[in-house]
A and B are shown apart, each in its own frame.
Chain A
Amino acid sequence: MKYLKHVGKYFLMLRQVFKKPQKWSVFREMLFREIEDLGLKSLGIIAFISFFVGGVVAIQTALNVDSPFIPKYLIGFATMRSMILEFAPTFMSVILAGKVGSYISSSIGTMRVTEQIDALEVMGINSLNYLVLPKIIATMFFYPLLISLAMFLGIFGGYVAGTLTNLFSSDDYLYGIRLDFDPYYIQYALIKTVVFAFVIATIPAYHGYYVKGGSLEVGRASTQAVVWTSVVIILLNYFLTQMLLA
């Protein structure tokens, strides 16, 4: 019953969020600020993790595929598939849920407990629209770019790992990543990313916006936001995979 109440409140929140911004110039300014805070500032961690995850996937595959009957180009093939289909969109989204989700939840939560949201409301500003809509647009617009970069860097990480360890040749790897390539996989990954981006922006915003109490509660809300965002991402990943690939 409690969960149903939260789900209902979440959708009521979204109704307030998706209203016309009161001033477009202010909205634009907020949007660019959010692109920087939620997108550009996540570039480093996403690049770092995807590069090394790609490297590890390639090495693990190479070490586990030692039968002479299995061609080496399958290492590149497996790395490309796993990076594009799962690691980049899902794994990176879970990472972003931790990094960005806690930031969104704690920043909005702090605004709530220090009466900054009340100050917006007293001025006659739709605080949900003002605070949350730019975050949704920023993440939905920027994360597909971020995840595309993660795909590229992951595959490149596999190539570098193979070249450095001599576990497979670069020719085999390059042949493998081009083998049976279907552009729909990229489309599938980006559709998932857009959905996850929406979840990453809205669930933490919900937890932050409705926080009651002080700093301890803001911390708790932040943790809950990350947990629930990750859970919803994993669940949606299952349904989206079923819908888009099955």
Chain B
Amino acid sequence: MIEVTDLYKEFKGIPVLKGVSTTFEKGVTNMIIGQSGSGKTVFLKCLVGLHVPDSGIICFDGRKQKELDIKEQRLLRQEIGMVFQGGALYDSLTVEENIMFPLKMFADQSFSERMDRVNFVLKRVNLENANKKFPAELSGGMQKRVSIARAIVMNPKYLFCDEPNSGLDPNTATVIDNLIKEITEEYQIITVINSHDMNSVMEIGEKIILLKDGVKEWEGSNKEIFITENEAVVNFVYSSNLFRKVREAYLKETK
């Protein structure tokens, strides 16, 4: 379990996170939603250790991030997989080399063992014939799948995804969503996803947190998001006519 308590972060005197507290459970797809500038990315970067919070506690299965020395932090990071918004694949490496990279750095395995693992994760993300391609030769959806494959190749305990659907068509976005959900359940990992995509939120968001101006405004599931009267949720999630109508229909049906 990841426990976040009273997380506070500011940049040049401007507070971005104002005391966010929450928990993330194993095997559950957790989603952070909110408008641009609400602090989602900063929150995620604090979790993975790319930003150091000004105050507050982040606890990974009993290990307080702030109290870990550099070596322990590095070990913790080896248990973290991250899917970046733009993929963040290494341009000069092939798909196979990109995925193999964490194994080369941290696993004491022979080349054939590493290759087996790479082929296994590539198969898992349905990308079996792209081993020798470079990231520039792949479509956006394929790059995201490679990024997911790289994130899970070390069998992480924690998976963080920053806008995994940005720039993807609806079909591909659904494929990526389902893939993340399947992986989360299959390997019982703690997954935290930053997203703007309401389809994803409704589809796979087992636990949803809405951030507004650096404050946690609402927390609930994708079922509860339909019935909540919270103004911030209603204004953000149902800002489009389509979603508003879907919600009204759902509420009418459940009454």
Residues of A near any B CB (own CB < 8 A)? 22-23, 25-26, 110, 114-116, 118-119, 121-125
Contacts and interface: CB of A to CB of B under 8 A. Distances in A.
B114 interface: no
B102 A123 contact: yes
A215 to B, nearest CB: 13
A116 B90 contact: yes
Contacts of A114: 86, 88, 91
B69 to A, nearest CB: 13
B151 to A, nearest CB: 9
B105 A22 contact: yes
Nearest to B150: A119
A122 B105 contact: no
B104 interface: yes
B85 interface: yes
B188 interface: no
Contact of B49 (A115, A119, A122): A122
B80 interface: yes
Nearest to A126: B74
Contacts of A23: 104-106
B84 interface: yes
Contacts, number: 52
Given A121-B49, A122-B49, A122-B80, A115 B86 contact: yes
B50 A118 contact: yes
B249 interface: no
Nearest to A22: B105
Interface in B82-110: 82, 84-86, 88-91, 101-102, 104-106
B88 A115 contact: yes
Among A25, A118, A119, chain B packs the most CB atoms within 10 A around the CB of: A119
B78 interface: yes
Given A23-B104, A119-B82, 4 more contacts: A22-B105, A114-B91, A122-B49, A122-B77
Contacts of B80: 122-124
B38 interface: no
Contacts of B160: 122
B84 A124 contact: no
A7 to B, nearest CB: 22
A116 B78 CA distance: 16
B75 interface: yes
17 contacts: A22-B105, A25-B104, A26-B105, A110-B91, A114-B86, A115-B85, A116-B88, A118-B88, A119-B82, A121-B49, A122-B82, A122-B160, A123-B77, A123-B105, A124-B75, A124-B80, A124-B106
B204 to A, nearest CB: 22
Contacts of B89: 116
B118 interface: no
B48 interface: yes
B149 to A, nearest CB: 13
B105 A121 contact: no
B73 interface: yes
Nearest to A117: B88
